Amino acid sequence: MTVAERLTELGITLPEPVRPVANYVRHVQTGNLLFISGTGPTKAAPTGKVGTDLTVEQGYDVAREVGLQIIATVQDALGDLDRVARVVKVLGMVNCAPDFRDQPKVINGCSDLMVEVFGDAGRHTRSAVGFVALPDQIAVEIEATFEVR
């Protein structure tokens, strides 16, 4: 089954990939690695600190939406998601209060999506860390690295 077929089976439609809002590029491929810049949710997503303004479940949903944006960027970069050999690394940043401890539960929104879409190749190394603030008070920002064929 192709990744496109799996997306259809899951009922997932990829969003339009976001474009840079400053002096950087959304993706860089070097050798067989594709690096995706830090990615946030759309403006429609709830903002604020997870654990204060948003629940862990809402944060999970935002992280999943960010994962969809990342996959859309990979599609834009490669032209074919079947070129993804493996999701290598996910770095999840959660806007949260200093005493919040459930960053991994939030970033699972992205990690679970990667496994749903790419199967075993979606299993990755990961960091899930808390930040005192993120741009525009977004709840989650994620960057990712992919191995490509």
Q: Where are the domains of the chain?
A: 3-148
Write down the pLDDT at residue 21.
Answer: 80
pLDDT in 10s for each residue of the chain, 149 residues: 999 999 999 999 999 998 888 899 999 999 999 999 999 998 889 999 999 999 999 999 999 999 999 999 999 999 999 999 999 999 999 999 999 999 999 999 999 999 999 999 999 999 999 999 999 999 999 999 999 99
Task: Tell me how crowded residue 111 is: count the other CB atoms within 10 A of its CB.
Answer: 22
Write down the pLDDT at residue 115.
Answer: 98
Write down the pLDDT at residue 26.
Answer: 96
Q: Which CATH class is domain 3-148?
A: alpha beta
What is the SS3 assignment for 132?
coil
Helices 56-78 and 103-118: crossing angle in degrees, nearest 10, is 40
Q: Check if the beta carbon of residue 45 is closer than 8 Å to that of residue 62.
A: yes
Write down the pLDDT at residue 19.
Answer: 87
Q: Measured between alpha carbons, how far is residue 132 from residues 2, 27, 140 in Å?
A: 40, 26, 11
Contacts of 94 (CB under 8 A, 6+ apart): 50, 59, 100, 103, 106, 107, 128, 129, 130, 131, 139, 140
Q: Check if the beta carbon of residue 83 is closer than 8 Å to that of residue 149.
A: yes
Q: Check if the beta carbon of residue 84 is closer than 8 Å to that of residue 123.
A: no
pTM for the predicted model, two decimal places: 0.96
Q: Check if the beta carbon of residue 59 is closer than 8 Å to that of residue 94.
A: yes
Closest CA to 18 of 2, 31, 4, 36: 36
- How many Å apart are CA 64 and CA 67, to the nearest integer? 5
